[in-house]
Amino acid sequence: MAKNKKMPLVAICGRPNVGKSTLFNRLTGKSRAIVHDEEGITRDRFFGEARWEGYRFRLVDTGGIIENPDDNVTQQMQTQVDAALNEARVIVFVVDGQQAITRVDREVRDRLFKYGKPVLLAVNKLDNDKLVESNQYDFYELGLGDPFPMSSGHGLGIDPLRNAIISHLPEPAGLAEYKEGDEEETPVDTRIKVAIVGKPNVGKSSFINAILNEDRTIVDDKPGTTRDAIDIDFAWEGKEYVLIDTAGLRKKAGIKRKVEHYSVSRSLRAVRRADVCLVMIDATEGMSEQDKRIIGYARENGTAMVLVWTKWDLVEKKAQRFKDLGSELELKMAQIHFVPNLTISNVSRQRLFSVFEYIDRVYEQTRKRIPTADVNRFIENVKQKHKPPSIKGKFAKILYGTQAGIKPTTFVLFVNQKRLFHFSYMRFLENQMREKFGFEGVPIHLELREGKPRDGKTADEKPRNERPRHEKRGDGKPRK
């Protein structure tokens, strides 16, 4: 939340592939950062929250420090590392305990001295006592005081490091609001979680940077620059959001490396945990099959959506192009007519902040609950308006309906026989429901159940001790 930014920041740094992300996951207690043997997996700053002995502090995982960055992405990675180290109150310098000290380790050490902040040397990958005894003392040579022998993968030696971290944090009296209290007093997270999804290179990270007016995420013309889902706190006009920058979702055939599977998995998980998805599509290209798959995934998971056409500054005949995109949308995905859409430009900043008006509007619809009485009045009106379908003289009948939940928005309809309800009639019901109740941008799930609940109650409201007809009596004989 907003005051999380006031919490002290602890930065984890080191050269590539020494176990920084594994340590980050261990200290936060969550498998948030991608861990892989390949170097350079972490690129952007990745934030989390850690707790120890009553203290709470922010933790940031950084990309590996490289001696001579020779391309745009690695140069931006080093800029991200510098930003994290400048902001940090404590720095954890991670080295590989199974390797000798390298020239890069020494250069990182010299670089850290310039920040004038406490530096804790974490000697990682010491998985057993023998390795600890034989290797830890070599690292005194770095001149950073007592090294902390540990194995972030096995959870060994972590507690002494935690104790050292909190010893450098502000006094508890100055951080009373950040000390853990009773769980009942923990405030509810009211931030609106917004997942920014789309194909590679449609401008997701550029949108984040334009909104924040800073280079918060790495941007490059090469697809696949963003590899993990990154949560970024943002406030606008008195409301708080979590912007989730995700890796580009590409076709399965285009996923060549294992790390890309992780990236796609994290992006899909971001869709599932988001309140609203901004589905970004390149306005110069139009809607592709992959865009349709992304929208379909969000719809299946019941996640609310706003469609954003990006790169609008590159479009010349804007009025005609917008009309063409509307026709294309109606032709290729008429089933998402309920999703609002707008055009933006990350370069000219055109309508950038209008996006939040759409997000707020759609988010309110995700929380909407329709009283059961209104649902059933609606059902009666629909039945009079449009006669239900029939199969061989047997008519479909809706006996009772109720809204079962939100996020995803789900309605349960109790019917005589599910087989009688053709998908076209279900789509008609959904369209009528939207015409009556709204639900802009929100997928509606209609669930059919056979039979009417007793006493007009839903299945969840039935007494637990109700026995089904086939249940045996106490004498062991079936009920008649």
pLDDT in tens, 321-343: 999 999 999 999 988 999 999 99
pLDDT tens digits, 273-324: 899 999 999 999 999 888 898 899 899 999 999 999 999 999 999 999 999 9
**Is 198 found in the same domain as 173?**
no
pLDDT tens digits, 366-383: 999 999 999 999 999 998
**Is 398 found in the same domain as 349?**
no
Percent of residues, the chain, with pLDDT higher than 70: 76
**Is 255 found in the same domain as 134?**
no
pLDDT tens digits, 338-355: 999 999 999 998 899 999
Range of the domain at 389: 372-461
**Is 220 found in the same domain as 152?**
no
**Is 213 found in the same domain as 109?**
no
Q: Which CATH number goes with the domain that contains 445?
A: 3.30.300.20
**Per-residue pLDDT, 69:** 59
**Is 151 found in the same domain as 48?**
yes
Average pLDDT of 236-256?
Answer: 72
**Per-residue pLDDT, 31:** 61
**Is 325 found in the same domain as 202?**
yes
Residue 480 domain flag: no
Model confidence at 455, pLDDT cuts 50, 70, 90, reads: low
Q: Which CATH number goes with the domain that contains 256?
A: 3.40.50.300
**Is 338 found in the same domain as 421?**
no
Burial of 152 (0-12, 13-18, 19+ CB in 10 A): buried
Model confidence at 2, pLDDT cuts 50, 70, 90, reads: very low
**Per-residue pLDDT, 68:** 60
Residue 473 domain flag: no
Q: Tell me the torsion sign for CA atoms 331, 336, 341, 345.
A: negative
d(CA 278, CA 301): 14
Model confidence at 1, pLDDT cuts 50, 70, 90, reads: very low
Average pLDDT of 126-137?
Answer: 79
> Would the pLDDT of 37 be above 70?
no
**Per-residue pLDDT, 477:** 53
**Is 381 found in the same domain as 318?**
no
The pLDDT mean for the chain works out to 80
Q: Which of 18, 156, 37 is nearest to 100 (CA)?
A: 18
More confident residue, 3 or 325: 325
More confident residue, 7 or 4: 7
**Is 350 found in the same domain as 307?**
yes
Residue 476 domain flag: no
> Would the pLDDT of 138 be above 60?
yes
**Per-residue pLDDT, 214:** 73
Model confidence at 89, pLDDT cuts 50, 70, 90, reads: very high
Residue 466 domain flag: no
Q: Is 411 left (phi over 0), alpha (psi -120 to 50) or beta?
A: beta
Average pLDDT of 181-204?
Answer: 75
For residue 360, which amino acid is it?
D
More confident residue, 467 or 31: 31
Q: Give the chain's domain count.
A: 3
Residue 378 domain flag: yes
**Per-residue pLDDT, 479:** 52
**Per-residue pLDDT, 185:** 47
**Is 276 found in the same domain as 213?**
yes
Please identify, among 366, 398, 413, the residue that sits at the C-terminal boundary of a domain. Answer: 366
Residue 387 domain flag: yes
**Per-residue pLDDT, 183:** 43
Which range has the top average pLDDT, 53-57, 85-89, 286-290, 358-362?
358-362
Residue 477 domain flag: no
pLDDT tens digits, 147-175: 999 998 888 899 999 999 999 988 654 44
**Is 288 found in the same domain as 204?**
yes
**Per-residue pLDDT, 379:** 92
More confident residue, 259 or 63: 63
Average pLDDT of 76-82?
Answer: 74
> Would the pLDDT of 139 be above 60?
yes
Residue 445 domain flag: yes
Helical packing angle, 423-437 and 372-385, nearest 10°? 120
More confident residue, 456 or 418: 418
Please identify, among 144, 160, 183, the residue that sits at the C-terminal boundary of a domain. Answer: 183
Please identify, among 329, 349, 366, the residue that sits at the C-terminal boundary of a domain. Answer: 366
Burial of 186 (0-12, 13-18, 19+ CB in 10 A): exposed
> Would the pLDDT of 434 be above 50?
yes
